[in-house]
Structure 1
């Protein structure tokens, strides 16, 4: 599938396409799973609950955020794939992070859950046929074909893993 023209919020989707590069959805999922498997758990544990700036999330909360939002994007995908109708209003990531217990969980637990959720996401998108993957999804300020929801999930991970590399890994020095 080629990344097609989008009608609403093209800046968001251009960022998604840029982060993923010129890659097909199945390859994007494989690559994202490989990145999860390559996380240096010991390094993340050494960083612990440190943040690079007051008020920023811990690595624990970033991982929980990835898990939560992947589930939300998969819910959206299934609603569109099954022609169920509309999806509810947007969710607030700050409220969700504040009310998570991510900092009480171990890095190992969070990474295992992220891996499991990603494997489930891969199976979900593999169950969609070509017609479903090309379904036009219109919600909030977005309009995109269904397959780009999958690319949004992988781009979201790339974005946050880049933040971890740039701003959190230096805390381990």
Structure 2
């Protein structure tokens, strides 16, 4: 995707493209599912509810955040794909995390739910033809093609998996 393909280029889109690298959406989605399947559950269980800094989310909340936001992005994709006409509003991730019960759930449950949600996302994007994938999505602050929503989902996972690896896994390795 070239920057010229969007009317109002969202600032985060360049980061999305960098994280995904030079891959097609279908490949990005399949790779992201593979990365979910390769999560080291025992390592995440060892981290438990530790955080690398005061007021940061637990790994449980990060996983719930990925699940919640994937569902939000998929809802947005369906609205645009079906020509419903609504412009999706912004959502507050901090409020959502605060009101989640992620810390009451096991890592296994959260990873399994993330896997199922991703499988559903893959099926949804596979159902879209090129015309749908190229639809211009007009959000509250920016525009981007519908296929970029799928790349945003995969980049979001890459971003948070990197944080877990770089900041949380070190908590158990330093002991």
> In the alignment, which residue of structure 2 is the partner of 1:98?
98
User: Please, what TM-score do these two structures have when normalized by structure 2?
Assistant: 0.95
Q: Does 1:83 align with 2:77?
A: no
Give the Å deviation of 1:140. Answer: 1.7
> SS of the residue aligned with 1:110?
helix
* Kept after mapping to 2: 8 A contact 1:50/1:58: yes
> In the alignment, which residue of structure 1 is the partner of 2:169?
169
Show structure 1 runs of 5+ residues with no match.
none
2: CA distance, partners of 1:91 / 1:9: 19
- The alignment yields a C-alpha RMSD, in angstroms, of 1.0
> In the alignment, which residue of structure 1 is the partner of 2:109?
109
> In the alignment, which residue of structure 2 is the partner of 1:46?
46
1: CA distance, partners of 2:21 / 2:153: 14
Counterpart mapping for 1:125-164 below 5 A: 125-164=125-164
User: Please, what TM-score do these two structures have when normalized by structure 1?
Assistant: 0.96
> In the alignment, which residue of structure 1 is the partner of 2:71?
71
Task: After superposition, give the CA deviation of every residue in 1:9-41 in whole Å (9 maximum; x if it has no partner).
Answer: 442111110000000000000110011011000
> In the alignment, which residue of structure 1 is the partner of 2:15?
15
> SS of the residue aligned with 1:144?
strand
* Kept after mapping to 2: 8 A contact 1:90/1:140: yes
Give the Å deviation of 1:4. Answer: 5.2
Task: After superposition, give the CA deviation of every residue in 1:85-143 in whole Å (9 maximum; x if it has no partner).
Answer: 11342110000000000000000000000000000000000011110000000112221
2: CA distance, partners of 1:56 / 1:28: 28
Show structure 2 runs of 5+ residues with no match.
none
2: CA distance, partners of 1:48 / 1:170: 13
